[in-house]
Chain A
Amino acid sequence: MAQRKIRNSSSVGTTTSRVTLNPKVARRSFLKLSAATAALTTAAMTTRMTAKAATSAAVKAAYPNSKMVRSICTHCAVGCGINAEVQNGVWVRQEVAQDHPVSRGGYCCKGASAIDMVTSEKRLKNPIKRVNGKWQKISWDTAMDEIAGKLTAIRDNDGPDALHLNGSAKVSTEMAYLQRKFAAFWGSNNVDHQARI
């Protein structure tokens, strides 16, 4: 029964081609959450923080002068495609990648909400440090200067192995490579990341 359903829903003439099991759901317009509607204040969990789906007409029309950028979801290792609609340097909308050879238009809820990685109000927007137990804003220059000064002092007094670097499986391969290279040039093997666990 289930098999027949799948065959019936697959595109004409390609009996071996794969389909999402419920293409209707995959294409549902609720994925197209507009960034404009995301300008909500920090809401208590009792109120809905998210907006409803846009109308079908609004979904079809591209934002004026927008461009589509192909990118890759930052959550799990399946590596789903993301089509991001960008207008004047602002990520305004995201679309499933129907023609991506692995995800094939599929998204989980994390992938479908990828845009909030950029739009979330919870993002930090300047360096901060704790002073007398309170968070205090500082400039990038001050922060980097103080950190580099303290690191150098620790290296001089205690040796390079007094630093441990926890790198990341969430950065690009190039950045991961720089993290390992950094530890080497710093002079220690005290470097690790999430693959250990």
Chain B
Amino acid sequence: MIFIGSNAAEAHPVSMQHILHAKEVNNAPVIVVDPRFTKLAAKADEFVRIRPGTDCIFIMGLVNEIIQKGWEDKEFIRSRVSGFPEMAASCSQYTPEEVENVTGIPAAQTRKVAKILATNRPTSLTWCMGGTQHHIGSSITRAFCILQLVLGNMGKSGGGTNIFRGHDNVQGATDMCVLSHTLPGYYGLKDGSWKHWCRVWDVEYDYMVSRFKEKKWMNAKGFTLSRWYEGVLGEEKIEQYTPIKAMIQWGCGSNSNSQYNRVVRAYNKLDLFVIIDPFPTMAAATCTSDNVYLLPCSSQYETSGSVTSTSRQIQWRHKIVDPINGCRDDYTIMKDLVQRLGFADKFYKNIKEVPEDITREINRGTLTIGYNGQTPERIKKHMENWHTFDIDTLQAKGGPCNGDYYGMPWPCWTEEHPGTPILYDVSKPVSKGGLPFRNRFGTEHTYEMSGRTENQLAADGLYNPGSEVKGGYPEFKDVVPGTNWKTDLSQKTLKEALRRGMAPFGNARARCVVWTFPDQIPIHREPLHSPRPDLISKYPTYEDQPNHFRVFTRFKSEQNPDLVKGFPFVLTTGRMVEHMGGGAETRSNKYLSELQPEMYAEVNPKTGNDLGVRDGDMIWIESPEGGKVKVKAFFTERVDEHTIFMPYHFGGVLMGESLAGNYPAGHEPYVSGEPANVCTNYGYDIVTQIQATKDGLCKISRA
């Protein structure tokens, strides 16, 4: 098992019983790669301390070392991977010595880790936000996948890329695409995507067009959670016909945003700010103008619906009690709002029973990821019979769910399908939870860097048991004329594919070259705010992006080699077990507040002593953007002498001043503290615009 940018012991504690089982019973070595010696690192056989933001070069360096030693899975690559020679040529520059120069990891340790991976297959690879929150986050995550492809670890029990997702239903909410660049089920924003969902919703496409300012805005990615406030502040150039004047924040703690002090300024500039949450979030305390409404929704224990875990298991969260006095559940609030806005008849056309009819509408429309067979009845049946599932295979042995995998992990193509517990597993028939890799990007491609043309379908002889075609095949279309497997609402295409033992989305190769990305093959680029100015010219960032989710986003013009002179420490953030997200819920929980009542910053003793700070002293931490927090210094060698760590769950204090009096009286959280994100730096991923909170710079001084 290799963990990189994941501290499961604190962020996903109950997963540890499975991790420690693998370590102690199955003798699986545990490798933890992290800038900090975390609680998970304490359980590692091999702890690799990495400089924040250099994950990509370390992983591609491992890939290079594996290829140089001839340890790659040649048969897996031959039959199921594309773009391998191009990728191998690219990563050959990342020798263990160069990896050491950039990451600080000794060359001998890179070689050792490569050997551990090569001799312990399959390996499971896990990452979290430590891998993603960088300006090259999209390259880093692809590097993780390439490592697993090269080792032949995909589609196997005990292998795979197992991202441990954060919130309880971040998988479900992502699948439903509460996202500014796509419609539910990852359909995108093209005309065909809108037409598909209009058919599901049973509304005229022209009606939907009429709801937008102009048709072009239907197809344009919107502002993101990371940078919406730039649409309010007017300090960056935006690509939209109006500034943002109103905000509804529905179940979202705001202090998880980087440059949080700028977010606060945006709150106070809005014409209307609606916060819907069981607790007043920090946003309520920071917004002091008369534009703000707080609507008390119930907690998720006072309503019902499905939730999708990090293993794609769909569980039914039964209502435990009715909403407490004065609160309303989310569905009731939504219905009231939509009725008052005048489109309830169209919005709720096929939704009578809530939430079950909504699940059924999702089942009907979300063909792309196989959300079709998980009916409300089946999900509830799994809940009632969770004790009948085998704990190793997660398959029901007998009983009412016999043969199903727990929670019917998607894709679950039909009401008879058992769910897919492991993605891309060709050892099983598709109808029994097997899958090949998806064919999504054409059947052939000529690579820019080599001029080579490659068939993107899987090799002959590589197929799931029972497949009619004994090799690669493209995605299914025109089973019902004019439709494909993603748009055929009759679902005949899905059933036809399964009848023939084949996957609706084809049988193709996993790509090492993504020709639509700025970096077609993952390469290292120095963090935007780098502590190593000597590396910037060799590993520069990207060009500035004028219209990046509707806002000008700086890359090259932000990468200043002199910045480190004034801000000499790397700032990174993370979780603690007692709190969650922005902490609005957990800091209002008396048990958890008692367990972890204080904000702090981890400082290496040498750093502290050099600055004349003592353990337990209050210090100021300041960001290049002018954000600053006053926190207690906690001396520990968990961090090295160049790095400062802060947990990001605190709120209720802003730049040294308590906001306790700004909360509704009696509703201030039990525990307050400075939000770390006041100090997290400018910087966003080139593809996704995720904020770069893990590799910024800061300075510290005694308070």
Give residues in A with beta carbon < 8 Å to B: 2-3, 6, 16-18, 20-21, 33, 38, 40, 42-43, 45, 48-50, 69-81, 84, 86, 89-91, 97, 99-104, 106-114, 116-118, 120-133, 135, 140, 143-148, 150-152, 154, 158-182, 184-197
Contact = CB atoms under 8 A, between A and B. Distances in A.
19 contacts: A45-B597, A49-B593, A50-B591, A76-B166, A79-B310, A81-B386, A104-B391, A118-B320, A122-B668, A123-B327, A124-B279, A162-B246, A164-B222, A173-B308, A181-B201, A190-B223, A190-B231, A192-B225, A196-B689
B467 interface: no
Contacts, number: 483
A41 to B, nearest CB: 11
A163 B386 CA distance: 42
A42 B250 contact: no
B44 to A, nearest CB: 15
B20 to A, nearest CB: 6
Contacts of B184: 177, 180-181
B290 A131 contact: yes
A70 B384 contact: yes
Interface string B526-541: 0000000000000000
Contacts of A109: 577-578, 591-592, 595
Nearest to B586: A110
Contact of B14 (A33, A80, A167, A173): A80
B389 A197 contact: no
A188 B331 CA distance: 21
Interface residues of B, number: 170
Contacts of B274: 147
Nearest to B174: A195
Contacts of A146: 293
B14 A106 contact: yes
A117 B585 contact: yes
A133 B292 CA distance: 10
B21 to A, nearest CB: 5
A141 B426 CA distance: 56
Contacts of A112: 591
A130 B200 CA distance: 40
Given A89-B322, A117-B585, A124-B294, A185 B256 contact: no
Contact of B392 (A16, A70, A78, A145): A16
A162 B406 contact: no
A133 B285 CA distance: 11
B290 A178 contact: no
B24 interface: yes
Contacts of B334: 175, 178-179, 182
Given A140-B328, A173-B172, A110 B592 contact: yes
B317 A189 contact: no
Contacts of B18: 18
Contact of A154 (B245, B289, B319, B691): B245
Given A123-B299, A129-B292, 17 more contacts: A74-B300, A86-B321, A102-B313, A106-B14, A110-B577, A123-B327, A123-B588, A124-B279, A164-B248, A170-B169, A172-B304, A172-B307, A176-B172, A180-B183, A185-B338, A192-B225, A193-B178
